[in-house]
Amino acid sequence: MHRAASSESSIRALCQTIPGLDADAIDAARSRQDQLTKPPGSLGRLEDISVQLAGMTGVARPKVTRKAVFTLAGDHGVVAEGVSAFPQSVSVQMVANFLAGGAAVNVLARHVGAKNIVADIGLANEVPGDTSGLKSLRVADGTANMAAGPAMTPEQMWQAVQAGIDLANAEAEEGLDLAATGEMGIGNTTPATAILCAFSGADPVDVTGPGTGLKAEGISRKAEVIRRSLAVNEPDPDNPWDVLRKVGGFEIAGLVGVILGCAARRIPVVVDGFISTSAALIATRACPKCAGFLFAGHRSAEPGHDRMLALLGLDPILSLDMRLGEGTGAVLAFTIIDAAAKLLDEMATFADAGVDGEAE
Amino acid sequence: MHRAASSESSIRALCQTIPGLDADAIDAARSRQDQLTKPPGSLGRLEDISVQLAGMTGVARPKVTRKAVFTLAGDHGVVAEGVSAFPQSVSVQMVANFLAGGAAVNVLARHVGAKNIVADIGLANEVPGDTSGLKSLRVADGTANMAAGPAMTPEQMWQAVQAGIDLANAEAEEGLDLAATGEMGIGNTTPATAILCAFSGADPVDVTGPGTGLKAEGISRKAEVIRRSLAVNEPDPDNPWDVLRKVGGFEIAGLVGVILGCAARRIPVVVDGFISTSAALIATRACPKCAGFLFAGHRSAEPGHDRMLALLGLDPILSLDMRLGEGTGAVLAFTIIDAAAKLLDEMATFADAGVDGEAE
């Protein structure tokens, strides 16, 4: 706990080190795109993504070789209010499934050649089976019930954010080129929705969705729990750390750390769905420059996600009606971002290939 | 040419052999999806794609191992009317670029592990450089100018369609699991737009776009050329072969053959952008059952593409503002379809993984 006590100042200092985008690399990438053997602009978003990657990494022809998804798992005291279609036991069971390679995020990570980092940052129960592949970073046995008071103490929150930064730094040391955020935590659309409401002023009734599969009655109950959590805690929208601590979660705090840690090292981060995007809202409000290092992997089917993306000014790469989390949508977007980088790097120019330019 | 003379009857016979979807495989795939470790439906389109694949292939847990994109190249007499931003010389230069591996479709095919089949089905000029990798199926040195009369003779059209069927059959013999349509042909958005107008009754002014990069004046000229081509030829919208012959192109006819040949062998086909989709319009009107074997790879930025997709009832997998052709959008969609198949096949079930189900 002595590390957590010193984390606040080091995290605030890290935020000051996050760089801007590299204008020279952006210009070089855009100039090369215009010389490649295709009508200018005809690769659409793929051209833009390649140019963004150049600006983020500071490399004119960036490569996306080492990819990793950070799947952080935590539990939520607010499940006592009946906000999820699945029991809390599923959080640790799904973590065991991640470690065994049987979950959706594992299949997709194998498909795109990404490493999957699984961490217990605040689960309430023990993970069954072989946990040798699990990063044990547990801050507490789940958050407190935010419908009755703050989800975390300040010390817990800073410890969870620092744990995410440390995970990012460890992968950065191994040469990480592209990161994705992912999570598991039964009940975690409830804090994510509360974060959206805290920043946007939206009424919970208007943005609360089914999460893993609530029916109409359950959604109404969940919206009422979110309304009560906001009323009890009065999170300050001008202080993102206050919002995170009072109505967030350990995995959300850890993902804020992953985003800050990657941005400080110029590593692009692909944000997954609803819960991950709530972490991006916290991170970008705590440190606006980190917004430059984010891609939105996909548009979630969870109803509040569009509103979150609008607050961030992010246009998602994929739109496949996914709403699973774990990092699945972000990992699938890896392959599109990788393709964009390869097109910029590997295509022939008009001059190389002896192809005539536009006649008009 | 003796083969072409006998092609019409064999093509019409092939159309009769295209099967329906396999209902048992669809039921088995849907049932397995509901047992996998995720909230039901939470993988969205990926679940639907996996179930469609099962129905197409007749396999309950289909694999997408061998993938190929058919990039057919042809020239267009109508370029004499000034309908393209690039000179006709670019068609063969880009084919040389395909053979050297420097074009966008090559980069993307390598990225997703697909074979790229490049065929000259009606180019007007010789392909420079080493053409050992080129399939030489040239029907004629480009089509006739459709603004003055039919683009093809009946014999030419049937020969081009049969060449596409033969290409599909050759790959099917090697175990092809998933095909994509692609094309190259300076000026070919003009016949593709004419096909759309012939079937939909749309005014060319409303659906003609920039193609490779025409400005407003060029687009107006192109729309007028399309209007004239339709007036001169009077293609019969109730006879798709009449539409193809009068206002189509050799690469479009060849892609009709690829679609029919694949569908007859239960091989799913991913349709690329505007030109490829015009071939899908012909194929599905000539043989409605082949519609069951099509995916739309992406939504093109070419303005008439949405209208074509609506006529086909297809919802594109990707929407990245691409407008390049070659098969690029379809090949990029391969990786999403492959991911969908792997999720269905490789994810653990709730029972396998010991994960509790829904509480509500």
Domain regions of chain A by residue span: 2-61+345-353, 67-339
Residue A5: what pLDDT? 52
Q: Summarize the confidence of residues B218-224 as an average pLDDT.
A: 97
Arithmetic mean of pLDDT over chain B: 96
Tell whether the model's pLDDT for residue A328 goes beyond 90: yes
Mean pLDDT, chain A, rounded, equals: 96
Q: Would an 8 Å CB–CB cutoff place A63 in contact with chain B?
A: no
Per-position DSSP letters for A272-339, written without gaps between them: -SHHHHHHHHHHHHH-GGGGGGEEE-B--SSTTHHHHHHHHT---SB-S-----TTHHHHHHHHHHHH
- pLDDT at site B2: 47
Of these residues, B47, B183, B251, B326, which one is catalytic?
A: B326
Query: pLDDT band at residue A2, thresholds of 50, 70 and 90?
Result: very low
Residues in chain B, total: 360
pLDDT digits (tens, 9 = 90+) for A44-54: 999 999 999 99
Nearest to A45 among B100, B107, B320 (CB): B320
Confidence of residue B6 (pLDDT cuts 50, 70, 90): confident
- Pick from A97, A335, A347: which is nearest to B355 by CB? A97
Q: Say yes or no for a CB contact (<8 Å) between B353 and A214.
A: no
pLDDT above 80: residue A144: yes
Residue A326 annotated in active site? yes
* Banded pLDDT at B18 (limits 50, 70, 90): very high
What is the per-residue pLDDT for A3? 53
| A102 touches B at CB < 8 Å | yes
The answer to whether B310 faces chain A, any CB pair under 8 Å, is no
For B159-216, the DSSP string reads HHHHHHHHHHHHHHHTT--EEEEEEE-TTTHHHHHHHHHHHH---HHHH---TTT--H
**Token code pair at residue A41:** 């602009």
Query: With a CB-CB cutoff of 8 Å, which residues 196-215 of chain B face chain A?
Result: 212-215
SS3 of A125-191: CCCCCCCCCCEECCCCCCCCCCCCCCCCCHHHHHHHHHHHHHHHHHHHHCCCCEEEEEEECCCCHHH
Distance of alpha carbon B204 from the chain centroid: 22
Give the model confidence (pLDDT) of A252-271 as tens digits.
999 999 999 999 999 999 99
A217 shares contact with chain B (CB less than 8 Å)? no
A220 touches chain B (CB under 8 A): no
> Quick check: A46 and B322 CB within 8 A?
yes
- What average pLDDT does the segment B281-296 reach? 98
Distance (Å) of CA B349 to CA B33, B36, B44, B53, B190: 9, 4, 17, 20, 50
Residue A6: the pLDDT is: 74
**Which whole number is the average pLDDT over A58-87?**
97
Q: What is the pLDDT of residues B93-120, one digit of tens each?
A: 999 999 999 999 999 999 999 999 999 9
**pLDDT tens digit sequence for B323-348:** 999 999 999 999 999 999 999 999 99
Torsion angle in degrees (nearest 10) through CA of B266, B272, B276, B279: 30
Asked if the model's pLDDT at residue A357 lies above 90, the reply is no
d(CA B297, CA B323): 12
Confidence bin at A1 (pLDDT 50/70/90)? very low
Identity of residue B184: M
Quick one: tokens of A222? 């969940």
- Closest C-alpha among B230, B235, B231, B241 to residue B190: B230
Nearest to A353 among B42, B43, B93 (CB): B93
Q: What is the mean pLDDT of residues A333-346?
A: 98
Contact at 8 Å (CB) between B28 and B62?
Answer: no
CATH of span A67-339: 3.40.50.10210
- Residue B163's nearest CA partner among B135, B127, B124, B126 is B135
Query: How close, in Å, is residue A85 to chain B by CA atoms?
Result: 5
Confidence at residue B105, expressed as pLDDT on a 0 to 100 scale? 98
Whether B245 has a pLDDT exceeding 50, the answer reads yes
Q: Rounded CA gap, B41 and B342, in Å? A: 16
Query: Region B55-72: what's the mean pLDDT?
Result: 98
Between B240-247 and B154-173, two packed helices, what is the crossing angle to 10 degrees?
110
Q: Is A4's pLDDT higher than 70?
A: no
Residues 37-56 of A with CB under 8 A from B: 37-46
- Topology adopted by domain B2-61+345-353: 1.10.1610
The verdict on a CB contact (< 8 Å) between B360 and A213 is yes
A7: closest CA of chain B, how far (Å): 35
Question: What's the predicted TM-score (pTM) here?
Answer: 0.97
Q: Which amino acid is at B299?
A: R
- Confidence at residue B358, expressed as pLDDT on a 0 to 100 scale: 81
Distance between A101 CA and the closest CA of chain B, angstroms: 8
Cα–Cα distance measured from residue A92 to residue A74, given in angstroms and rounded to the nearest whole number = 9
Q: How many Å apart are CA A298 and CA A315, to the nearest integer?
A: 8
Percent of chain A with pLDDT over 90: 97
Average pLDDT, integer, range A153-160: 98
Report residue B120 CA to chain centroid gap: 16
Q: What confidence score (pLDDT) does residue B1 get?
A: 45
- The 8-class DSSP code of residue A66 comes to -
User: Residue B359: what pLDDT?
Assistant: 65
pLDDT in tens, B132-177: 999 999 999 999 999 999 999 999 999 999 999 999 999 999 999 9
Residue A82: pLDDT band (50, 70, 90) is very high
